Amino acid sequence: MFSLLCTGVCNLLIANLLLVEFLHMGTHDLHPHVVDHRQELKHILLFGFCYEDVVYSLPLFSHSSILYPVLVHTQQLPYRKGLTNSARKIDMAIENEQPAVGLSKVAVSETHGEDSPYFAGWKAYDENPYDESSNQSGVIQMGLAENQVSFDLLEKYLEEHSEASSWGIGAPGFRENALFQDYHGLKSFRQAMANFMEQIRGGRAKFDPDRIVLTAGATAANELLTFILADPGDALLVPTPYYPGLDRDLRWRTGVKIVPIHCDSSNNFQVTPEALEAAYECAESMNLKVRGVLITNPSNPLGATIQRSVLEEILDFVTRKNIHLVSDEIYSGSTFSSSEFISIAEILEAHDYKNSERVHIVYSLSKDLGLPGFRVGTIYSYNDKVVTTARRMSSFTLISSQTQHLLACMLSNKEFTENYIKTNRESLRKRYEMIIKGLKNAGIECLKGNAGLFCWMNLSPLLEESTREGELALWKVILNEVRLNISPGSSCHCSEPGWFRVCFANMSEQTLEVALERIHKLMEQRKSKET
């Protein structure tokens, strides 16, 4: 009861603050008399109460001993959307200029994050892309986590199996397919996905095709889960450093907030129970309701898997707090050795699926199969309610039946998938070793990785000042002078400056050699400057 009272008072204070803001916003829905005398209003008395997550407040404006009660529904006030000041200005500008018709806060917000260095680097690349023969001085794209090392296998498969890209010899297959718009997805495809996911985990976890919800890419899967697990204003805890796109995917349309779980290099950026607890407390102190933890395993941008003991601790934590756990495992098949990756599904199986209803896995074919253009993602949830809801919501993000059919054929071919997974792992390991060796020769250390399409490079000795600004200054040099687009750690919310994510699977070996040479040169220059 005490806590209830406390939150009540907090809400009231927030509402009071909002009210002052509200008055300055020039809202046309206020009583005209109130608007006219806005500046003179002295006494503001507020009655408020909270019901079903919505703060209702009743401010009374007093002006020349007349009271103007106004019912304010705070859900419509800006704090709900977490608007920045600049965004609010834009919104006001739109409200005030008569002819221009207004847009929503989603449309004018900056949460898409495309102005961050992570995306700014892409623009530099787009303007001047490196090409082995035609543009040797261009920018090399090392900021894009794309897997092109196994295209030959995919191409060979499609060449040999024309039944996948056509609809077989009989026509009726097509008829069903073109009309197929059931949000459950093709049964054969869900079965194939479940098998593929099992195969990647070395058969150590089982997946039920009826729990697979298909979405157009993992981006949509993450957003959809956030819609289901949290309400606007609630929070998800995410260990840093994390994939910059999460700021957009989890927050933009859902109105949910991210509270970072700070990890650092002292223990190789692994999540600790203390860090989890600290993040939880931090969220509570901001009066945010924590609805879950989201991990990426293997981690993007670290390129390393999460240890079993850490997973146990995280699962224990979410159970204790009675919150959800989302495990984004889109790089699970890009682990260099099958035994090094432990899925949350295996942990659940070991616990006999106790507490599994709070666990949700996100998977996609964009990274492991190198098919981001096919836009295939999936949610695997152990919670029936989440499965049902996600399936209905997937109407907004369905996969074309033609693509489902093609992939169902491809993934049902055991011979192909086995060979693919094995060869892909080997090729990635080879690439990884190549880049680590090259960087080491240049005198650069990386975090020890075992998965993914990137490595986590430590350039902190090169920083002129050990701050975010110092890191971005170095990043600009690397982008504009060395002409490599890599992602600065600060865009991943890394708490230590000087770390960079470097992708190595979206180019040919020759291009990688060129990139390593360029880094080598940079290091030589720096050394000669120092001496």
Partner 1 sequence: MTLTRSIQHRNPKPEVQSRKPSGATAMRLIVPLQGVVQGRGGLIFGSLIPCALFYFLQLYLKRHRSPNSQSSPSSPSTSSSNLAEMTRTSSRSNLLSRGSIGPVRISSRASSIAKPNDSPYYVGLDKASEDPYDRIGNPDGVIQLGLSENRLCFDLIEKWMLENLRDSIMGREGGDLSISGIATYQPFDGTMELKLAMAGFMSRVMGGAVSFEPLQMVLTAGATPAIETLCFCLADHGNAFLVPTPYYPGFDRDVKWRTGVELIPVHCRSTDNFMLTISALDQAFNQTRKRGTKIRGILLSNPANPVGNLLSREMLYDLLDFAREKNIHIISDEIFAGSMYGKEEFVSMAEVLDSEDSDKSRVHIVYGLSKDLSLPGFRVGMIYSFNENVLAAARKLTRFSSISAPTQRLLVSMLSDTRFIEEYIETNKKRIQNMHDLFVAGLQELGINCADSSAGLYCWADMSKLTPTYSEKGELELWDMLLNVAKINVTPGSACHCIEPGWFRCCFTALAPEDIPVVMGRIREVAEICTQSS
Known catalytic residues are: 243, 328, 330, 367
Q: Does 104 bind partner 1 (CB under 8 A)?
A: yes
Contact range with partner 1 by CB under 8 A, out of 299-307, 388-396, 413-421, 467-475:
388-396
Give 154's contacts (C-beta < 8 A, 6+ positions apart). Answer: 369, 370, 371, 410, 420
DSSP-assigned letters across all residues of 126-190: HHSB-BTTTBTTSBEE-S-----TTHHHHHHHHHH-HHHHS--SSSHHHHHHHH---TT--HHHH
Q: Is the CB of 283 or the CB of 439 nearer to partner 1?
A: 283
Q: Which of 190, 251, 257, 324 binds partner 1 (CB under 8 A)?
A: 324
Q: Which of 17, 76, 135, 508 binds partner 1 (CB under 8 A)?
A: 76
Size of the site for partner 1 (CB under 8 A): 127
Contact range with partner 1 by CB under 8 A, out of 157-165, 269-277, 309-317, 487-495:
157-165
Q: Which of 39, 64, 85, 159 binds partner 1 (CB under 8 A)?
A: 159
Q: Which of 382, 416, 432, 504 binds partner 1 (CB under 8 A)?
A: 382
Residue 504: CB minimum distance to partner 1, A: 15
Q: Which of 193, 528, 508 is CA-nearest to residue 376?
A: 193
Q: Does 219 bind partner 1 (CB under 8 A)?
A: yes
Instruction: Measure the CA–CA gap between 155 and 164, rounded to whole angstroms.
Output: 12
Give 80's contacts (C-beta < 8 A, 6+ positions apart). Answer: 74, 232, 233, 255
Q: Is the CB of 295 or the CB of 519 nearer to partner 1?
A: 295
Give the x/- contact pattern for partner 1 in 272-301, rule: CB under 8 A: -------------------x----------
Residue 272: CB minimum distance to partner 1, A: 23
User: According to CB under 8 A, which residues from 14 to 33 bind partner 1?
Assistant: 16, 29-31, 33
Residue-level length of the chain: 531
Give the x/- contact pattern for partner 1 in 443-462, rule: CB under 8 A: --------------------
Q: HEC profile for 413-462?
A: CHHHHHHHHHHHHHHHHHHHHHHHHHHHHCCCEECCCCECCEEEEECHHH
297 and 308 Cβ atoms separated by less than 8 Å: no
Count the alpha carbons within 13 Å of 494 in the hemisphere toward its beta carbon: 32
The DSSP code for 267 is: G
> Using alpha carbons only, what angle is made at residue 365 by residues 261 and 415, rounded to the nearest 5 degrees?
130
Q: Is the CB of 358 or the CB of 483 nearer to partner 1?
A: 358
Residue 322: CB minimum distance to partner 1, A: 5
User: According to CB under 8 A, which residues from 229 to 268 bind partner 1?
Assistant: 229-232, 234, 249, 252-253
Residue 245: CB minimum distance to partner 1, A: 9
Q: Is the CB of 262 or the CB of 405 nearer to partner 1?
A: 405
Beta bridge partners of 456: 501
User: According to CB under 8 A, which residues from 46 to 75 bind partner 1?
Assistant: 46-53, 56, 58, 60, 62, 65-73, 75
Structure tokens at 180: 């197929």
Count the alpha carbons within 13 Å of 463 in the hemisphere toward its beta carbon: 19
Q: Is the CB of 55 or the CB of 442 nearer to partner 1?
A: 55
Instruction: Measure the CA–CA gap between 389 and 394, rounded to whole angstroms.
Output: 8
Residue 33: CB minimum distance to partner 1, A: 8
Q: Which of 54, 104, 46 is CA-nearest to residue 80?
A: 54
Q: Is the CB of 91 or the CB of 471 nearer to partner 1?
A: 91
Q: Which of 39, 64, 85, 98 binds partner 1 (CB under 8 A)?
A: 98
Q: Does 133 bind partner 1 (CB under 8 A)?
A: no
User: According to CB under 8 A, which residues from 470 to 499 bind partner 1?
Assistant: none
Q: Which of 280, 355, 281 is CA-nearest to residue 312?
A: 355
355 and 349 Cβ atoms separated by less than 8 Å: no
Burial profile 260-281: b = 16 or more Cβ within 10 angstroms, e = fewer: bbbbeeeeebbbbeebbeebbe
Residue 44: CB minimum distance to partner 1, A: 7
Q: Which of 24, 123, 175, 187 binds partner 1 (CB under 8 A)?
A: 175
Q: Does 119 bind partner 1 (CB under 8 A)?
A: no
Residue 461: CB minimum distance to partner 1, A: 33
CA distances from 478 to 220, 468, 472, 503, 526 (A): 32, 15, 10, 14, 12
Cis previous bond, 301, omega within 30: yes
- Pairing type for strands 484-485 and 140-141 reads parallel
User: According to CB under 8 A, which residues from 391 to 450 bind partner 1?
Assistant: 392-393, 395-403, 406
Q: Which of 143, 239, 301, 372 binds partner 1 (CB under 8 A)?
A: 372
User: According to CB under 8 A, which residues from 347 to 366 bind partner 1?
Assistant: 352-358
Q: Does 367 bind partner 1 (CB under 8 A)?
A: no
